[in-house]
Amino acid sequence: MRDSHGRRIDYLRISVTDRCDLRCRYCMSETMQFLPRREILTLEEIAVIAERFIARGVRRIRLSGGEPLVRRDFGDLARALGRHVKAGRLDELTLTTNGTQLATYADMLFDAGIRRINVSLDALDPDIFAHVTRGGDIAKVLGGLEAARQAGLKVKLNTVALRDTNEGQILPLLDYCAEQGFDLTLIETMPLGEVAEDRSDRFLPLIEAIAPIRERHALIPLGDRTGGPARYFALSGLKTRLGLITPLSQNFCADCNRMRLTCQGRIYMCLGHEDHIDLKAAFREQGVAGIDALLDRALAAKPLAHDFSVAAGAQPATRRHMSVTGG
């Protein structure tokens, strides 16, 4: 699939649920209203729609949310899509999770054909973690990470850099990753959905966030891409790779290769735009045949770039939260 700007689209992110067992401050408000269940695609519908994307040339799928592991019977979807990896129709099936349920599900994920997961962790300090997540228990995540390692899953931690919140956690997180054999990716906060705080107060450009790392290690740019927007660096003296996702300070849209399917059955062509195409109705009325024409429309409508701003007082780029579109 190619969009109207000539970009090859071979990566699909699926938000399998907008629900979550945490309430990270940059992601959602404490009183987040979740979608009514009747508006949500069934797991079977998600699998059939994903299969249509695979038939059209998608080679990588990432399952995200909300928290994917809180959706009951998530394993059925992982196994259904994992079969396409085993058959060579898909290069990779990956997962983004907050890690709270990994101790239960790590082996299942590996058996389903998942080999790489991203686990979001913004602090190792229990109090800072509880503050950012509004009540999360770090012990559960650390236990989950241990289970993932033992199951043979390759782990990358995702850390959102937040001013006056977790700057002091970045070196401890890097040391932890080095000890565990994990990679670390730092992310700038993006203005998606109302979260009850002004994001401009918390926005920390990564150039500042990595200053303490630079004092200890040389950053050596790597050409590696893993299908996402991160740029990777080797660090002198460490095996851990450092990824940087800088949507605000360095725009990466020129290389965008992705589309997003939400749990409501909408295709979003860009995380930062409201434009979307509703697949659910077409799919429920016409079956798989209804999907193709809308996919072509989505490709034609994919915008060239997001238009995020975190200037003081700026409105979020979209009213939609990351948990709805799938981070």
> Which amino acid belongs to residue 256?
C
Q: What is residue 12's three-state secondary structure?
A: strand
CB distance 44 to 81 below 8 Å: no
The one of ligand SAM, ligand SF4, none whose footprint includes residue 23, by CB under 5 to 8 A per kind, is ligand SF4
Please count the other Cβ atoms lying within 10 Å of the Cβ belonging to residue 168.
Answer: 12
Q: What is residue 154's three-state secondary structure?
A: strand
- Out of 24, 106, 147, 271, the only residue in the binding site for ligand SF4 (CB under 6 A) is 24
The one of ligand SF4, ligand SAM, none whose footprint includes residue 158, by CB under 5 to 8 A per kind, is ligand SAM
Look at residues 38, 82, 92, 14 and name the one whose alpha carbon lies nearest to residue 327: 14
Stretch that binds ligand SF4, among 63-71, 148-156, 205-213, 269-277 (CB under 6 A): 63-71
Q: What is residue 309's three-state secondary structure?
A: coil
- Out of 15, 94, 118, 120, the only residue in the binding site for ligand SF4 (CB under 6 A) is 120
Contact between 23 and ligand SF4 (CB under 6 A)? yes
Please count the other Cβ atoms lying within 10 Å of the Cβ belonging to residue 53.
Answer: 23
| Residue 27 main-chain phi, psi, to 5 deg | -100, -45
CB distance 251 to 304 below 8 Å: no
Subset of 3-42 contacting ligand SAM (CB under 6 A): 20, 26-27
- Out of 15, 17, 98, 169, the only residue in the binding site for ligand SF4 (CB under 6 A) is 98
Comparing CB distances to ligand SF4, the nearer of 27 and 256 is 27
Contact between 65 and ligand SAM (CB under 6 A)? yes
The one of ligand SF4, ligand SAM, none whose footprint includes residue 189, by CB under 5 to 8 A per kind, is ligand SAM
Q: What is residue 192's three-state secondary structure?
A: strand
Stretch that binds ligand SAM, among 47-55, 63-71, 272-280, 303-311 (CB under 6 A): 63-71
Look at residues 292, 233, 262 and name the one whose alpha carbon lies nearest to residue 66: 262
The one of ligand SF4, ligand SAM, none whose footprint includes residue 185, by CB under 5 to 8 A per kind, is none
Contact between 323 and ligand SAM (CB under 6 A)? yes
Subset of 172-201 contacting ligand SF4 (CB under 6 A): none
| Residue 157 main-chain phi, psi, to 5 deg | -90, 140
Per DSSP, what are the bridge partners of residue 278? 266
Stretch that binds ligand SF4, among 40-48, 60-68, 175-183, 269-277 (CB under 6 A): 60-68
Which positions touch ligand SF4 (CB under 6 A)? 20, 22-24, 27-28, 65-67, 98, 120, 323
